[in-house]
Amino acid sequence: MSKEPNILLIYTGGTIGMVKDFETGSLHNFNFDDLLKQIPELNLLDCNIATHSFDEPIDSSNMNPDYWVDLATVIEENYQAYDGFVILHGSDTMSYSASALSFMLENLNKPVIFTGSQLPIGDLRTDAKENLITSIQIASLCENEEPVIKEVCLYFEYKLYRGNRTTKINAEHFEAFASLNYPPLVVSGLNLSVNKQALLQTNNEKEFKVNKKLESNILLVKMFPGIDKTTINYLFSYPQLKGLVLETYGSGNLTNREWFIEAIKKLIEKGIPVINVTQCSGGSVNMGLYRTNIQLKNIGVISGKDATTEAALAKLMFMLGEKIPANNFKTIFETAMRGEMS
């Protein structure tokens, strides 16, 4: 790595890249080529910053797997030229995107850091400047001419998290994200405090590879008291269904009514993987702990363990896209690939 790392700033859209028109009060995207004019403090960082913007910046509510492929392709095409990547992204679906990229970018040996803001960059009280400056600073960290961070992360409000461990928990506060089942990788205070024990250990010998096949014909069903047989049978009869994620109660509990167990069993018999993740913000699925979930274990439901819903969905899309054989699917899913589960 050179004395001054080369960082590529990738703008996809979102609040962080907006400025206010003070005459009309409306928000609009600013030209990222003028980034240094908006944040002159970036000139003080010990790195070289280049920018790349989506041709048409998008609201993160419109994020989808095609955009993830676009994003992964930008990183793939620039991987050799840059020492780190910072992705500016709307906060609403940032955890989904960070989770997806963590699986798509295989044998990653450089930092890929997602960040954004709750207020536009041109707002007087914006959180955008701190999030952006510190993300770039963390992406520039190196030790023995090697990047300190070698995984897909998410930085927000003084904390760097593993991206596939995060969930957006607040739509108003600056502290918008949490990682309840895994500690922060870096905490920003007077200094940057790196939790080296928490960092993902990578194999430098393996070649970087980008996986671009994702299967989006999957279903996410959040269980609630009162969900009935007619609704479940209707949802599960979707002819293109390739995978199912169930958001269950507590440590993976579901109704053990016979009609429900039979509906799940039919899917599994068709070779459709069924993943069990908890609705709780923190904690883990533990199938077999209660009578209401031991049947699920017996019929082959896959445990999402302590993975977030976002990570479970992304991993399912990735594994289905990679055509993982049905007889190995459960074993591979229940094994951590990118540090997404304990």
- The residues near 18 (Cβ < 8 Å, ≥ 6 apart) are 27, 28, 29, 30, 120, 121, 122
- Concerning whether 15 is annotated as a catalytic residue, the answer is yes
Residue 7, amino acid: I
Distance of alpha carbon 4 from the chain centroid: 28
The answer to whether 181 and 161 are in contact (CB under 8 A) is no
Residues 280, 317 contacting (CB under 8 angstroms):
no
Bridge-partner residues for 113, per DSSP? Answer: 86, 153
Which of 12, 15, 93, 278 is flagged as catalytic?
Answer: 15
Which is it for strands 243-248 and 274-278: parallel, antiparallel or unpaired? parallel
Longest dimension (CA), the chain: 65
11, 17 in Cβ contact below 8 A?
A: yes
SS3 (DSSP) at 115:
strand
How big is the CA angle at 163 (ends 160 and 169), to the nearest 5 degrees?
80
Nearest 10 degrees: Cα torsion 238, 241, 243, 244: -10
Encoded tokens for 299: 């019929």
* Radius of gyration in angstroms for the set of CA atoms belonging to the chain, rounded to a whole number: 21
The residues annotated with a catalytic role in the active site are: 15
